[in-house]
Every structure is written in C-alpha cells, then in structure tokens.
C-alpha cells in the first residue's frame, strides 16, 4: 500500500537591523522553515507522520538560522529510522513569508503510522477495511470482531519489547491462513515497531505488516491472550473481552 500526502514548507525571514553585516550590501537575516501536512481541505496539521526531520544547511554559515546569503537546502524527512524522503528547498530572501508544497509517499505504513495518516485523509484500503469490519460485525454475536477491540490490539502491539515482538511474529506465522492480508518488505517495521535486524534467522530484517481485521478468530484470541499476559506492557482491563460486549 502506498499513501500520498501533501506537505507544506513555510519559510519566514527578516532583516536583523541590530546585527552587523558580514558582507557589505547583504544584511544579516534571521529565518525559519516549518513543515506541515495538509488534509483534503488544505488545512495544515503538525507533521507527526515523520519520526524526525533533518535540515542539511549550507556549511559556510556558523549560525544555522542566521545568514546573509540565499542557498538551496535538502530536507530529509524520515518515516522510519532508515527510510527517508529528501526534499529540495530554496531558501531565498525575495519575500519575508512564502510557502511551497510537495507530495510525499509512504510505502506500506505501519499500523501506528496509518492511524496518524488518517488524521489528514483516508487511506487506499479504508473502504475494504470498513467492509470487512462491517461484514464481521453483521455475521453474529460470536464473531471475533465483537469480542475484541482491534484498535487496542494494535496499540498493545505498538508497546511490545523486542522479545515479545518476535514471539508475536512467531504466533502469526504459525497460525497463518490464506485469507489473511500480510505484506513483507525491507524497511524494517511491523505494526508500529521495528523488527531488529539479524535477531533471528526466521525473522530477516524487513517490513512485516498485517491487517488485523483479516485474522481468523483463533489467531485473534491467541494474540489477545498473549497481550493480556504482559502486564508490564499493557493493562489487563484494556484487553478484557468483557469490556467490549
């Protein structure tokens, strides 16, 4: 799955009258660049979809937010610790305030990242996901969708430590069925967590994601019970089936 979002770079700059010019005819200026994610209506949202953002500035300026010259910088937006998208940005002094927009892509986003991206628009698989969830809910009171809160399962998975994460992957592999929606890649994430490189031969480094709604009830129960037994990671009340009838 590939999700696209528009981001907006907002640049503000102004002359610093109390700061002596380092080069005649070129006054010192203070500037800032901010990144926002746009929703479908064009409204700005904080860029929580990025783990970190690195601004690669011109090396000749000692103070990175003050300068007398214009230059083009490269902004690296990290969606994971290793995956980044580089965006060129022209820092110029033609206007005190200006914006530029770019499109960024998120390949096979984790469960946690999908939740963040939904704050700025639907995902490509949301329609199918809603249909599967609705069909499961309409099938009867004994269906897993009425017994278990998938959003809280996803939240619990996002809190797992390394050893528990590997155990969960083992549970899924041991109980995998043809109807499950699972994707594997090489970016090193599994539902909101990093799969440690070289941790085990059967778990090579790579992207491992699953649509929780596609799991059979037996696997859902196994994951649920496993999470309940981890008091240091999640609370029992959060995953108590009795709370969801």
| CATH entry, 2-107, from 1.10.10.10, 2.60.40.1970, 2.160.10.10, 3.50.50.60 | 2.60.40.1970
* pLDDT grade for 224, boundaries at 50, 70 and 90: confident
> What does the pLDDT read at residue 200?
35
Residues contacting 200, CB < 8 A, separation 6+: 166
Buried b (16+ CB within 10 A) or exposed e, 9-25: bebebeeeeeeeeeeee
CB-CB neighbours of 190 under 10 Å: 23
Cβ–Cβ < 8 Å for 7, 35: yes
CA separation for the pair 56, 73 (Å, rounded): 6
The yes-or-no verdict on residue 123 having pLDDT over 60 is yes
Looking at the chain, the whole-number percentage of residues with pLDDT higher than 70 is 71
Facing residues of 6 across strands?
A: 38, 103
Query: Could you tell me which of 47, 46, 32, 48 has the C-alpha nearest to residue 99?
Result: 32
- pLDDT at position 36, please? 96
- Between residues 214 and 8, the one the model is more confident about: 8
pTM: 0.53
Looking at residue 238, its pLDDT comes to 41
Report, as an integer, the average pLDDT of 31-39: 93
Q: Could you tell me where the DSSP H helices lie in the chain?
A: 111-117, 126-138, 144-147, 150-157, 162-174, 217-228
Report CA-CA distances (Å) from 57 to 12, 70, 71, 84, 241: 16, 11, 8, 17, 52
pLDDT (mean) for 17-44: 90
Which among 193, 143, 205 is positioned nearest to 168, based on CA atoms? Answer: 193
Using the predicted structure, report yes or no on whether residue 185 has a pLDDT greater than 70: no
> Which pLDDT score, from 0 to 100, does residue 58 have?
75
Asked if residue 176 has pLDDT above 80, the reply is: yes
- What does the alpha-carbon distance between residue 170 and residue 166 come to, in Å, rounded to a whole number? 6
* Mean pLDDT, residues 33-59 taken together: 91
- CB burial of residue 124 (10 Å; 0-12, 13-18, 19+): exposed
CATH 2.60.40.1970 in the chain: give the residue spans. Answer: 2-107
Cα-only R_g, the chain = 23
Gap between the Cα atoms of 37 and 112, Å rounded = 17
Integer Cα distance of 159 and 22 in angstroms: 51
Q: In this predicted structure, what is the pLDDT of residue 79?
A: 85
Tokens 């709370």, residue located: 243
Give the closest residue to 211 by CA, choosing from 150, 166, 163, 167: 150
Q: Which residue has the higher pLDDT, 185 or 171?
A: 171
Q: Which residue has the higher pLDDT, 97 or 208?
A: 97
């Amino acid at each position: 799955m590939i999700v696209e979002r528009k981001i907006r770079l907002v640049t503000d700059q102004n002359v610093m009258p109390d700061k002596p010019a380092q080069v005649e005819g070129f006054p010192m200026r203070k500037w800032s660049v901010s990144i926002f994610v746009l929703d479908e209506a064009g409204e700005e949202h904080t860029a929580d979809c990025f783990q970190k953002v690195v601004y690669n500035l011109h090396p000749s300026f000692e103070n990175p937010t003050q300068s007398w010259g214009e230059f083009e910088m490269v902004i690296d937006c990290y969606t994971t610790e290793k995956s980044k998208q580089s965006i060129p940005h022209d820092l110029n002094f033609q206007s005190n305030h200006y914006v530029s927009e770019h499109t960024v892509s998120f390949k096979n986003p984790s469960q946690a990242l999908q939740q963040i991206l939904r704050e700025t628009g639907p995902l490509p698989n949301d329609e199918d996901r809603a249909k599967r969830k609705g069909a499961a809910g309409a099938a009867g009171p004994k269906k897993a969708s009425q017994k278990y809160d998938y959003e809280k399962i996803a939240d619990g998975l996002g809190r797992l430590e390394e050893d528990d994460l590997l155990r969960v992957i083992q549970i899924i592999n041991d109980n995998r069925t043809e109807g499950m929606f699972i994707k594997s890649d090489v970016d090193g994430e599994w539902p909101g967590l990093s799969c440690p490189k070289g941790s085990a031969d059967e778990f090579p480094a790579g992207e491992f994601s699953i649509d929780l709604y596609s799991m059979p009830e037996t696997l859902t129960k196994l994951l649920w019970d496993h999470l309940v037994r981890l008091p240091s990671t999640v609370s029992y009340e959060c995953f108590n089936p009795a709370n969801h009838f």
